[in-house]
Amino acid sequence: MESFREDFDIRSGEILAYLDLLRFIEHAGSELVSTEDPKNKFNITSESRKTLKGAVYILLYNLIESTMREAICFIHDSLHDKNVQFDNLKKNLRIEIVKRLKSDSVGVENFINGLTKGISCGISYGSFNKKKLFSGNIDRDEIKEKATIYGFSTSSDYIHTKHGEKLSTIKQHRNDLAHGNVSFSEIGKNVSYQDLENVSLEVIAYLDAIATNIEDYIHSDGYLTS
C-alpha cells in the first residue's frame, strides 16, 4: 500500500503545483519576463489562460483512474498474498470473478500464469486484468459499483468531498477533450481558478477517503463472506 499511497501523493502534488501556476498566471500581467534576459518576454493571452484551465480536467481524471485502478490492484494483491480461497470470498466478488473468466478481457495464458498458488487461491488474481478495469469511463457511480462488488465503503466527509459528485463532470470533460469534441480553451473559458481549486481539493479528499476505506477493508478482511 505504500507504493499506492506514494503514487497518489505524487499525482495529487502535480495537480496542486499546477494550480499554483494557474493562480500565479491568473494574477500576472499580460506578459512574463525572463529573469536571464529582460528583453525575452512571453505574452499571456486570454486564450492561453483558458487552455491552461482546461488542462486541469485531464490531470484530475488521470488521478481518479490511476488511484482507483491501483486500489483495486492492491485488493487482488492482498488476496493473493494472504492465500484467500475463492469459496471464502463475498458472493458479489465471486460472481464478478466468474464474469471475468467468461469475458475476453482475460487471456488463457495470463490466467494460467496467475495460478501459482492453485486455482482456489489464484483464481481472483489470474482472472484480473487491470488494463480492462475502467477504460476511460470512471466516475462516482463506477466507484460505487466496484464498492458493491468488493464490499468496501464509499463513505466520506461531505463537507470536504461532496461525496465525489464532480467526478462525472470531470469524466465528461476528459472524454470530450480526448476525442477532440471540444478544445481546451472551450472547456476552460467558463470556469474560474477558484472553481478549479475547489473541485480539485474535493476530488483529492474524496479519493483519499476511498483509499482509507480500502485500507480498512483489507485490514479487517472485508472481502470474506460472512
What confidence tens digit (pLDDT) does each residue in 2-15 have?
A: 677 889 999 999 99
Chain length of the chain: 226
Cα(114)–Cα(131) distance, integer angstroms: 15
Angle made by CA atoms 219, 139, 75, in degrees to the nearest 5: 20
The mean per-residue pLDDT over the stretch 163-191 comes to: 95
Q: Scanning the structure block, which residue is given the C-alpha cell 488521478?
A: 63
Which pTM was predicted?
0.89
The per-residue pLDDT for range 35-87, each reduced to its tens digit, is: 777 778 777 888 988 999 999 999 999 999 999 999 999 998 899 889 899 88
> In the structure grid, which three cell numbers stand for residue 178, read together?
480526448
Neighbours of 101 (CB within 10 A): 14
Residue 53: per-residue pLDDT: 95
DSSP summary character for residue 224: B
Quick check: 114 pLDDT over 60? Answer: no
Residue type, position 130, single letter: K
Distance of CA 18 to the CA centre of its chain: 18
